[in-house]
Structure 1
Amino acid sequence: MIPQALMLGISDDVAVALKPVAANQHLSGLHLTTIADIPAGHKLAVHAIESGQPVRKFNQIIGFAKQPIAVGEHVHTHNLVTANFERDYAIGVEARLTEFIPPAESASFHGILRADGRVATRNYVGILTTVNCSATVARRIAAHFTPQILNAYPNVDGVVAITHGTGCGMAEHDEPADLLRRVFAGYATHPNFAAVLLLGLGCETNQIEPLITLTGATGNLRTSTIQEAGGTASAIQAGITSAFEMLDQANLAIRTKLSASNLVVGLQCGGSDAYSGISANPALGAAVDILVRNGGTAILSETPEVYGAEHLLTRRSSRPEVAHRLIDRIHWWEEYTARHRGSIDNNPQPGNKTGGLTTILEKSLGAISKGGTTNLNEVYLYAEPVTEKGLVFMDSPGFDPVSATGQVASGANLICFTTGRGSVFGCKPTPSLKIASNTTLFNRMSDDMDLNCGTIIEGEETVQEAGARIFDEILRVASGQPTRSEIHGFGEEEFQPWLQGATL
């Protein structure tokens, strides 16, 4: 039988209600009686907690009691708050050698091997805009390629217009500009694009020439500006001509059997609930462990959503400098939010709190479980090319479109996205696999969800079994099976680079 409430750690002060629990209900497994209604996914105190005392879940601090909390009382935003506390970083004490699967026995998928050795899971032609001013022209070019026209190119997944709202009105130098250029360089050279047309207006801050320098000017990259082409109509026609030529080139690609070591999987969670840290995120972590053992790479991100739990990653750092880079990013975020008169604890969002998550500390503990249990091998800035194998970290905001955009720019050729409240996110050119944390969500939004991990809550499978199922689905999606977000056409409008600097 499924218990009504569950303690997740032996030193926990709270249990999580797995189903709604009414007031004055006796929970025999916890030897207590509730004194308030406890919504599903929310917390209840398993013993009396004094005001100011730390409150633990997952054997870790998730906040501090704002007032005395009685046994069986609902624990949430009305009586639990975030406060500063010392974390024991214990750098590297839990780092372990990874037991890799021998290459002859490793998992495989059917992907696309580019001429330069890069490996793709999709085969798109891209129209990438350097500035918002060229967005309409890019969309008109892509719109020309209807399903009827694309039928002549059976090996191509489509023509994608990547547009955005920036590229000018900003400083030309320093980190915000460098960050934006890293994003465009990463997309222009992404293996899931067989070829790219880099389209600008002509006079913008985000000029094409520096981007060409960053990309290495590969033969798969073409450039055009509206001003040089002679205006809108001429630029559209020239772009269509270029796209036809790129389609001919892209259609030559064929899928072949490749090692899973070529997979670079971005890890995302959005619209999280309390079940996310119990089911979908740990299951994805189990899949990541399998991926790493097969020689692949997983990118954990969303720095504000590891805040307060970063010490669990520093303990697994393969080298001291990796841990220090992560700690530096945490301190950067503390300064960044203070500079903008904000607070990292503004995250969780209202939907997260409705789903039972109270503080960023609690949310972070669930979020980092997506990264599994292997060593943390490197820490990257936003949109930096990922070259290290195994589990790595890329600094990013917690806002999913911005974070996933950075991961794709860093080289992710597949995204795994867990959700408890329901997300419909996609991110072309990279497929996004949507994993539900609970069966209610999966049934309600089955047209948007790819996998259900509510089976863990219901006792139908273990975290490890669900992780193996996720890994098998990763291989199928990497081999060309469309995800639900791809079927719905998501992925072009969701491109969202991180904008740090002032708009001038």
Structure 2
Amino acid sequence: MQATHENKAPRTATRDTVKLNPCDNVVIALRDLQADEQPFGVPVPLTNSVSRGHKIAAAAIAEGENVIRYGQIIGQAKADIRPGEHVHVHNLGMGAHQQDYAHASANTPLAMINEGRTFQGFHRADGKIGTRNYVGILTTVNCSGSVARFIAEAAEKSGLLDEFPNVDGVVPIVHGTGCGMSGKDEGYATLFRTLAGYAQHPNFAGILLIGLGCEVMQVADLVGGRPIRQDGVLRYMTIQNEGGTRRTIERGLEELRGIAELANQATRQPAPVSAITVGMQCGGSDGYSGITANPALGYASDLLVRHGGTTILSETSEIYGAEHLLTRRAETPEVGQKLIGRIHWWEDYTARNGGEMDNNPSPGNKRGGLTTILEKSLGAVAKGGTAPLRDIYKFAEMIDKKGFVFMDSPGFDPCSVTGQVAAGANLIVFTTGRGSVSGYQPTPCVKLATNSEMYTRMAEDMDLNCGDIVTDGVSIEAKGEELFEILIRVASGEKTKSEELGFGGVEFVPWQIGAVM
């Protein structure tokens, strides 16, 4: 079957249903439908009620036959399915599947846009541009996490930042690892990249690095005898060297003041839109995700790439079954093969840990209409638009190419975003159908609702409603352009809903790989 996933408005849509591709043998309900109703695109009345976002058989599907959505296989029928029947977990399963990767066969470059668009950002000494101007307290190990929080709390209570109006705040970056691990395996290298990436992030004007002193992830190894940031705004200490908790807090406050004085000298200045790097995520997905918010984000991704910017697709376990759509867009066959190498790593990783690649979708995804990981993945890759895939990166590996790229990560949202931020994302865009709530300091997160009902219910958490693509006939192109303008405003300092609510305190989640010892 032809491997396409058109980033355009549905071909056949009514108020009742949508058929996403002429080859599909299912339609998607656009409202809650009752038994005995006969919606458009279904040849007989419904045998059962079907919730919005769920699938309905548009034709008879024999047991073992492929079920087609987006013009792609999303699984096989577990029993004979009659026209008008609800198609979901009770009668649709994964089944065996093989993909034709056709590496680099459809990597058509996008036409570049040279309009000279700019945003107001913070210029750093290493040439990167920040969208925020935070001071970070970075921890090497779980054992220094509480002290980092104590320092941040003491700074807030003392009003330390009152005299530094250009500093957005103090962000403690704490986590649950850094010791009880090997000091030379893949897990150690992954954590090292993650911490080093945050220490160099352009949304931090300066960093206070705090360790305990005896942990595996040593401060000295991270610093390496040189500043992690080229502009030198890095201070570091260990609790054991300072003489305990109280003395570390006192010293930490002194160091924060010095960092804040330097950070306060930074002001927003015009910067090219090409300096924006967006990490793209979806979580709490539903049957609308691949119809509304994800393709709208894909259109905005293409716009940013055409302006010379960078977008990062991730969540390897949630592109499983749709990776052939990305390998075709690989810039070279080698890039496509690198992606498949990560897929094979994941197959081994899940198998040796007693898991399976079809562990997704989650219960919430299924209530929203998704059935198999193939179906979820086909909707998820729509976030990546149509641009050529320039390269594949490991988790938290620094992105060094412009354009559309892929970073390997789990599908667990806070962990995946942590890797994207470490890799250099200075904005995050997060699509959700069920209503995920989260935020990711130091990088602002723009939340997209896939459906109007959830947006109305959770408007205080959502930055943009994409449900009007279905309810009001708004085009995906128009919604993508609206999102692109939001990204420029947020990059220039406009606060997102998650920032206004104060999210970001618990969403730093490094990927722990390997034995905990």
Into which bin does the TM-score normalised by the smaller protein fall? over 0.9
Letter of the 2:170 partner, please give it. V
**Post-superposition offset of 1:107:** 2.1
Letter of the 1:487 partner, please give it. E
Contact 1:325–1:379 under 8 Å retained in 2 = yes
Distance 2:399 2:126 in 1: 17
| Corresponding residue of 2:476 | 463
Q: 2:448 aligns with which of 430, 435, 444?
A: 435
Contact 2:41–2:58 under 8 Å retained in 1 = no
**Post-superposition offset of 1:117:** 1.0
1:56 equivalent to 2:82? Answer no
1:231-276 CA distance string (max 9 Å, x none): 0000000001000111111110110111110001000001111111
| Corresponding residue of 1:475 | 488
| Corresponding residue of 1:123 | 133
Distance 2:126 2:368 in 1: 46
Give the TM-score of the pair, scaled to structure 1: 0.98
Distance 2:174 2:271 in 1: 32
| Corresponding residue of 1:154 | 165
Contact 1:112–1:255 under 8 Å retained in 2 = yes
Contact 1:309–1:361 under 8 Å retained in 2 = yes
**Post-superposition offset of 1:92:** 1.2
1:31 equivalent to 2:43? Answer yes
Please give the residue correspondences for 1:210-229 in structure 2 after superposition, counting only pairs within 5 Å: 210-213=221-224, 217-218=228-229, 219-229=232-242
Distance 1:111 1:136 in 2: 32
**Post-superposition offset of 1:151:** 2.7
| Corresponding residue of 2:291 | 278
Structure 2 segments unaligned to the other structure (5+ residues): 1-12
Aligned residues: 502
1:46 equivalent to 2:22? Answer no
Distance 2:116 2:51 in 1: 44
1:167 equivalent to 2:178? Answer yes
Distance 2:128 2:359 in 1: 39
Q: 1:242 aligns with which of 246, 251, 255?
A: 255
Letter of the 1:198 partner, please give it. L
Q: 1:346 aligns with which of 353, 359, 376?
A: 359
Give aligned-pair identity as a percent.
53
Q: 2:190 aligns with which of 179, 183, 187?
A: 179
1:300-335 CA distance string (max 9 Å, x none): 000010000000000101111110000000111111
1:204 equivalent to 2:204? Answer no
**Post-superposition offset of 1:226:** 0.2
Please give the residue correspondences for 1:91-106 in structure 2 after superposition, counting only pairs within 5 Å: 91-102=103-114, 105-106=115-116
2:334 partner SS:
helix
Contact 1:189–1:215 under 8 Å retained in 2 = no
Rate the CA distance shift 1:221–1:305 in 2: closer, same or farther, 3 A: same
**Post-superposition offset of 1:214:** 9.8
Q: 2:200 aligns with which of 189, 192, 217?
A: 189
1:461-491 CA distance string (max 9 Å, x none): 1000000000000001000011111111111
Letter of the 2:179 partner, please give it. C
1:410-458 CA distance string (max 9 Å, x none): 0000000000000111110000111100111111111111110011011
Distance 1:446 1:28 in 2: 31
**Post-superposition offset of 1:32:** 3.1
1:164 partner SS:
coil
**Post-superposition offset of 1:27:** 2.0
| Corresponding residue of 1:110 | 120
Contact 1:282–1:369 under 8 Å retained in 2 = yes
1:44 partner SS:
strand
Letter of the 1:44 partner, please give it. I
1:294 equivalent to 2:307? Answer yes
1:78 partner SS:
coil
Q: Which has the higher mean CA deviation after the structures are superposed, 211-220 or 388-397?
A: 211-220
* CA RMSD, Structure 1 to Structure 2 (Å): 1.2
Structure 1 segments unaligned to the other structure (5+ residues): none
Distance 1:163 1:146 in 2: 17
Letter of the 1:183 partner, please give it. T
2:224 partner SS:
helix
